Amino acid sequence: MLELTGITKTFFPGTVNERKALVNVDLNLREGDFVTVIGSNGAGKSTLLNVVSGSIRSDSGTVVIGGKNVTKLTDYQRAAYIGRVFQNPSAGTAPHMTIEENLAMAKKRGKRRGLGWSVKKSLRQEFRDDLATLEQGLEDRLDDWVGLLSGGQRQSLSLLMATFTNPQILLLDEHTAALDPQRAASVTKITAELVEAQGLTTLMVTHNMEQALAMGNRLIMMHQGEIILDVDGIEKASMTVPDLLAEFEKHRGAELSDKDLLQ
């Protein structure tokens, strides 16, 4: 479903600020793969997602989604294939539009149509039904501005919007990291349910190793722009946090002080 081949991205090449964000990355996701992505700060996780979404163009390599080579397409041109939720709850929704208008906008994602968000009665009922699955009482607040919602409610809404059009790839970039533990747990549960219900091929970046082990069928660990561990199935299911730390240490040397990875 997603084939990345030979992806390399260097920021500010040839300068003192040169950063090798991705180094010859190959990654192949089968349809329905739910892959959690871990790694220390600056490992290249967000850049990987940006290259898939098209918001960053790689220096070399190819990106194929659903058999279509999208390497040269802009993020807008790829929007129909991709759903994405960011860490910041404000990023995925428009605060000065109502819940209904946000949902209508998501329905039209990637389609060439005018910016009219008028919603027919039947669609309104569909929105209510979808919102009810989030179990946050949002189905009765269709006319409320999204800016009035809590961070957890906005992330839940972002998730719903990102999965509305049944994208070929769902990208989750630390989407529970900015939430308190209770809201993070609720958004994690909704994520698992939505991905499972639609069989979505998913890449989820997280700094929480327990979450990375508990969710999905496959896990990759990145370090300095490379994928240094790729496990799935029973191998992943039998892994523990100490196993992950040991893998990380192998590549990083004896030093083990990265609080972000240790969360």
Q: Can you give the binding site for ligand ATP, defined by CB under 6 A?
A: 11, 19, 21, 39, 41-47
Which lies closer to ligand ATP via its Cβ, residue 47 or residue 202? 47
Which lies closer to ligand ATP via its Cβ, residue 16 or residue 115? 16
Contact 175, 188 (CB under 8 A): no
Element (H, E) at 68: strand 68-69
Instruction: In whole angstroms, give the CA distance from residue 146 to residue 106.
Output: 14
Among 95, 66, 54, 75, CA closest to 166: 66
SS3 of 57, please? coil
Q: How far is the CB of 44 from ligand ATP (least distance, A)?
A: 4
Element (H, E) at 150: none
Which lies closer to ligand ATP via its Cβ, residue 86 or residue 164? 86
Q: How far is the CB of 17 from ligand ATP (least distance, A)?
A: 7
Instruction: In whole angstroms, give the CA distance from residue 79 to residue 73.
Output: 10
Which lies closer to ligand ATP via its Cβ, residue 19 or residue 109? 19
Widest CA span in the chain: 62
Q: How far is the CB of 210 from ligand ATP (least distance, A)?
A: 17
Q: How far is the CB of 73 from ligand ATP (least distance, A)?
A: 20
Q: How far is the CB of 169 from ligand ATP (least distance, A)?
A: 17
Q: How far is the CB of 19 from ligand ATP (least distance, A)?
A: 4
Distance, first Cα to last Cα, the chain? 31
Q: Treating both helix axes as pointing N-terminal to C-terminal, what angle do 121-132 and 151-163 enclose, rounded to 10 degrees?
A: 120
* Cα distances (angstroms) measured from residue 143 to each of 40, 52, 119: 41, 34, 12
Q: How far is the CB of 30 from ligand ATP (least distance, A)?
A: 24
Which lies closer to ligand ATP via its Cβ, residue 19 or residue 107? 19
Residue by residue, DSSP assigns 155-214 as HHHHHHHHHTT--SEEEEESTTTTS-HHHHHHHHHHHHHHHHHHT-EEEEE-S-HHHHHH
Which lies closer to ligand ATP via its Cβ, residue 42 or residue 110? 42
Bridge partners of 9? 22
Which lies closer to ligand ATP via its Cβ, residue 46 or residue 158? 46
